[in-house]
Amino acid sequence: MAKAVRDVFGIPFIYTAHSLGRDKAASLDVIDQAMNSRIAEEIAAIVSADAIVGSSRDECERQLLAYPGARIGTIHRITPGTRTQAIDHRAKAQVLIAPFLRDPTRPVILAIARPVWKKNIAALVEAFGNDPHLKASANLVIVAGQRRNAETCDTEQSDVFRDLVERIDAHDLYGSVAYPKHHDDEHIAGLYQLAASSRGVFVNPALIEPYGLTVVEAAAYGLPVVATRYGGTVDTVTELGHGELVDPRSPQDIAAAIRRLLDDSAYWDQCAANGQSNAQAHTWAAFADQFTTIARSIIAPAAITTAAEPIGVAPRYLLACDLDNTLTGCAAGAAKFRKMLESRPNIVFAVATGRSLVEARRLMRQWDLPEPAVWITDVGTRIYWPGEYGRGKTRRFREMSRAIGRQRKFSPPPIGSMV
């Protein structure tokens, strides 16, 4: 629809990537017609969007780029917002889970996920059920959607739920596993709060997690996490520093990571504090601000973005500089720098950075710095410049890598001797 509107009226459109189908398909045994059409729609959107907004590095630099026709220059990363409830809902959550538990005072190992195979909650039950120490010292709380009668449930949901109950039964976990049937928003908030105050852990064992909102929610409530090492959680856990990444197919790996957090109180405190303070930047106001900047850049790109060929002014100087702590670090300085460039159209501005293009652009946006005419990124291995002026896009200078390839005089030593 957006593409049709753009084609007729010339209104540019931004595609917000969400739960991309290719990765989901890779985690399924059977790919049906619906999945094929979903991927076809995604390809059409990715190829024709004027800008694409993704939420994690994984989504921007791996998931999106795996699509045919995807162009890195159109992809931007903005971290979604997360809301926490300030009111204490622990008592309400306690009422929800108490009937299941023999000793409700134990640390809570919490999972919240839709009851679909991809979320892989079974691996968490296996991790808990096979670990005598965890079974004896903690409670497992699983919130997996709202349960109705088996007949009215969708088949995947009832299959996933039946599988969970069978595993709980096989490990004889009654009295230490709660799996409430219904919940509301206050229960969810209360469970995060309860798990945090019990010095527990949040676990997301998904086979692949496109972004991983629950892992950010846990951070915001000061609850350390054990999360899948496949998908957006890799960036979130690395950036927020609030827990461990694990192989979701290995219950032993999951159990060991949970124990590291539960058994080391200094490590737990550090993760809880990191998560809570770092998650504060994840607000919807910040998202809206960044989104508006991108929208503006595709509607009316700033004059500075076309500085490689400024109208009526011959470029005379090239100003190339580093980004982190050179252009960033002082808001007043960044504003002055921007003003200076705007008043000197004969300067061609280039940024040379170790960051990827997506990450460099994200930081420049956050500091309200102007889009340079040339990007030298990935530790100098890639060069980009605005290819199609007026659309905020960039083009990669492939000739450089080819030239380096042809004229290479440097023969690297064998990797073994370098190590």
Ligand X SMILES: O=P(O)(O)OC[C@H]1O[C@](O)(CO)[C@@H](O)[C@@H]1O
Footprint of ligand UPG on this chain (CB under 6 A)? 18-19, 112-114, 143-145, 188, 209-214, 217
Select the binding partner of residue 23 from ligand X, ligand UPG, none (C-beta < 5 to 8 A, by kind).
none
Instruction: Dig out the tokens for 33 from the structure.
Output: 């017609």
- Nearest distance from residue 413's CB to ligand X, in Å? 46
CA–CA distance, 102 with 341 (Å, rounded to integer): 67
- Reduced to 3 states (helix: H, G, I; strand: E, B; else coil), residue 286 is helix
- Give whichever of 152 and 411 is closer to ligand X, judged by the CB atom: 152
Q: Are 142 and 121 in contact (CB under 8 A)?
A: yes
DSSP output for 201-268? EEEE--S-BSS-HHHHHHHHTT--EEEESSBTHHHHHHHHT-EEEE-TT-HHHHHHHHHHHHH-HHHH
- Give whichever of 145 and 386 is closer to ligand UPG, judged by the CB atom: 145
Q: Which residues contact 183 (CB under 8 A, 6 or more apart)?
A: 96, 143, 146, 191
Q: Which residue's beta carbon is nearest to the bound ligand X?
A: 19
Task: Determine, following the binding rule CB under 6 A, whether residue 19 of this chain makes contact with ligand X.
Answer: yes
- Nearest distance from residue 20's CB to ligand X, in Å? 8
Select the binding partner of residue 64 from ligand X, ligand UPG, none (C-beta < 5 to 8 A, by kind).
none
Q: Are 209 and 227 in contact (CB under 8 A)?
A: yes
Helices of type H across 49-99: 57, 90-97
- Nearest distance from residue 28's CB to ligand X, in Å? 10
| CA distances, 222 to each of 179, 189, 192, 202, 275 (Å) | 22, 12, 8, 10, 6
- Nearest distance from residue 237's CB to ligand X, in Å? 19
CA–CA distance, 385 with 387 (Å, rounded to integer): 6
Select the binding partner of residue 50 from ligand UPG, ligand X, none (C-beta < 5 to 8 A, by kind).
none
- Reduced to 3 states (helix: H, G, I; strand: E, B; else coil), residue 395 is strand
Query: Which residue spans within 23-124 are E strands per DSSP?
Result: 51-54, 75-77, 108-112
Q: Are 54 and 17 in contact (CB under 8 A)?
A: yes
- Give whichever of 101 and 188 is closer to ligand UPG, judged by the CB atom: 188
Select the binding partner of residue 178 from ligand X, ligand UPG, none (C-beta < 5 to 8 A, by kind).
none
Instruction: Dig out the tokens for 338 from the structure.
Output: 């921007």
- Reduced to 3 states (helix: H, G, I; strand: E, B; else coil), residue 368 is coil
- Nearest distance from residue 114's CB to ligand X, in Å? 6
- What number of residues does the chain have? 419
User: Within positions 23 to 52, which residues make up the interface with ligand X, using CB under 6 A?
Assistant: 24
- Nearest distance from residue 112's CB to ligand UPG, in Å? 5
- Reduced to 3 states (helix: H, G, I; strand: E, B; else coil), residue 297 is helix
Task: Determine, following the binding rule CB under 6 A, whether residue 16 of this chain makes contact with ligand X.
Answer: no
CA–CA distance, 214 with 228 (Å, rounded to integer): 12
- Nearest distance from residue 287's CB to ligand X, in Å? 16
- Give whichever of 209 and 244 is closer to ligand X, judged by the CB atom: 209
Select the binding partner of residue 144 from ligand UPG, ligand X, none (C-beta < 5 to 8 A, by kind).
ligand UPG
- Give whichever of 19 and 270 is closer to ligand X, judged by the CB atom: 19
# residues near ligand X by CB under 6 A: 2
- Give whichever of 205 and 372 is closer to ligand X, judged by the CB atom: 205
CA–CA distance, 290 with 295 (Å, rounded to integer): 9
Select the binding partner of residue 24 from ligand UPG, ligand X, none (C-beta < 5 to 8 A, by kind).
ligand X
Task: Determine, following the binding rule CB under 6 A, whether residue 119 of this chain makes contact with ligand X.
Answer: no
- Give whichever of 212 and 248 is closer to ligand UPG, judged by the CB atom: 212
- Give whichever of 19 and 293 is closer to ligand X, judged by the CB atom: 19
- Nearest distance from residue 17's CB to ligand X, in Å? 11
- Give whichever of 210 and 370 is closer to ligand UPG, judged by the CB atom: 210
Select the binding partner of residue 237 from ligand X, ligand UPG, none (C-beta < 5 to 8 A, by kind).
none
- Nearest distance from residue 184's CB to ligand X, in Å? 16
- Nearest distance from residue 95's CB to ligand UPG, in Å? 17
Spacing of C-alpha 360 from chain mean position: 16
7-12, long-range: CB < 8 A, 24+ apart: 12/50, 12/51, 12/298, 12/299, 12/391
- Give whichever of 158 and 270 is closer to ligand UPG, judged by the CB atom: 158
Select the binding partner of residue 209 from ligand UPG, ligand X, none (C-beta < 5 to 8 A, by kind).
ligand UPG
Give residues in contact with ligand X (CB under 6 A).
19, 24
